Amino acid sequence: MPTRMLRATNAKQTHKLRPQTCVLWIPDASGYAANFGPSGLTVSNSPDQAYHLTEDEAEDLALRMRAQLGTRASIRPYYVQSPSYAGRA
């Protein structure tokens, strides 16, 4: 039993970070991508109402927008603010 405990404490541990949540900024429309489908692209002024994607999903969607609509998109990180912090300046 002590040998097993020793191995467990010496084992390499990795800490995975949660994926970064991102939004897509559409410079030509001065807004964030809120909806993208066969009918076109809808943008929002607020990142809170935009698509919230992982980095990989955001990159894939940005490439599809470029290919299908010719629209440029910038991937931006999205940070959720807790309600208690949002009011501080």
Give 28-70 pLDDT, tens digit per residue. Answer: 999 999 999 888 899 999 999 999 999 999 999 999 999 999 9
pLDDT above 90 (res 9) = no
Domain assignment present for 31: yes
Give the strands of the sheet with 40-44, arranged side by side. Answer: 40-44, 31-37, 22-26, 74-77
Instruction: Give dist(CA 73, CA 26) in Å, integer.
Output: 5
What is the total count of domains within the chain? 1
More confident residue, 34 or 86: 34
Domain assignment present for 52: yes
Instruction: For residues 22-32, give the mean pLDDT.
Output: 96
pLDDT above 90 (res 11) = no
Expressed as residue numbers, the domain containing 72 is 19-79
